[in-house]
Homo-oligomer: A and B are copies of this chain.
């Protein structure tokens, strides 16, 4: 196994200034806060608005995170783009900086592409990066990318690149599919991550690695705690608590809602900003969300301190 069982990562949300440029300091502060709660940093994920960032922006941010003292062994940047050259550029940077791995979307413009075409894409990237340190986690997210990664494709990639293709994030939202991935591949150490903490306990009980979850941005401690104590007697109760909070966020567009919560609990209202085509939560919905969160006793302890350090 390349990772310990009970591993939680978060696609770190990305803060923007008034001109929509990235606020690097605020990103580093949020990453430090997540790291302090035991969460790995899957920067440049779907919930990071990664595809709304240019490759050059992501290169600069990744360097800044490592230079700020974030442990690269806790970084798993998303590096998959539609163009192989872009994927190779960012993946090489990640490997060179010592990142734990990369989480790689398939090329997501063309739809209905063949397994053969996807195999050629991933193998071309791996051969161009040409670095034995590369650890590649596949990113299966058909509701957004609309390009699924089949079990046959995963099998073929693992056979061709057993030391490189070492895991997958399943953001399909279908537990049956995550279970099938675990049954097919987890036995010999392939790391299967659920794409939501909703499936954390089921994933760990079935032999999966953990989860890579958006809402770990706002609820890191409780998710990490369940991952660390999944064999405890109260695990099902804790899972239900995680689900209740997740339900609340899923009542809104999730990225704007996480940013609104982070804005409130960090006392940094500028966190609410998103890049188009996303739209920030309006004042009314933000206030409503915060009220619901506070009614649940929710807090983001330590975030104010790290955000104003």
Q: Which of B83, B120, B146, B275 contacts A279 (CB 8 A)?
A: B120
A143-B111, A146-B146 known; A277 vs B121 contact (CB < 8 Å): yes
Contact at B54–A85, with CB atoms within 8 Å?
A: yes
A277-B117, A279-B116 known; A51 vs B82 contact (CB < 8 Å): yes
Q: Bound state CA distance, A247 and B258, in angstroms? A: 48
A108 within 8 A of B: yes
Q: Bound state CA distance, A106 and B20, in angstroms? A: 18
- Chain B residues with Cβ below 8 Å from A146 are 111, 146
0/1 per residue, A195-238, Cβ < 8 Å to B?
Answer: 00000000000000000000000000000000000000000000
- Chain B residues with Cβ below 8 Å from A54 are 55, 83, 85-86
Within 8 A of B (CB), among A40-54: 46, 51-54
- Chain B residues with Cβ below 8 Å from A57 are 83, 85
- Chain B residues with Cβ below 8 Å from A53 are 83, 85
Q: Bound state CA distance, A111 and B253, in angstroms? A: 12
Q: Bound state CA distance, A113 and B276, in angstroms? A: 9
Contact at B51–A117, with CB atoms within 8 Å?
A: no
Contact at A276–B85, with CB atoms within 8 Å?
A: no
Contact at A52–B107, with CB atoms within 8 Å?
A: yes
What bracket does the count of chain A residues touching chain B fall in?
A: 35 or more
Contact at A20–B277, with CB atoms within 8 Å?
A: no
Contact at B82–A52, with CB atoms within 8 Å?
A: yes
Q: Bound state CA distance, A111 and B82, in angstroms? A: 16
Contact at A124–B82, with CB atoms within 8 Å?
A: no
Contact at A110–B279, with CB atoms within 8 Å?
A: no
Q: Bound state CA distance, A220 and B249, in angstroms? A: 53
Q: Which of B46, B86, B117, B277 contacts A278 (CB 8 A)?
A: B117
- How many whole Å from A139's CB to the nearest CB in chain B? 12
A144 within 8 A of B: yes
0/1 per residue, A272-302, Cβ < 8 Å to B?
Answer: 0001111100000000000000000000000
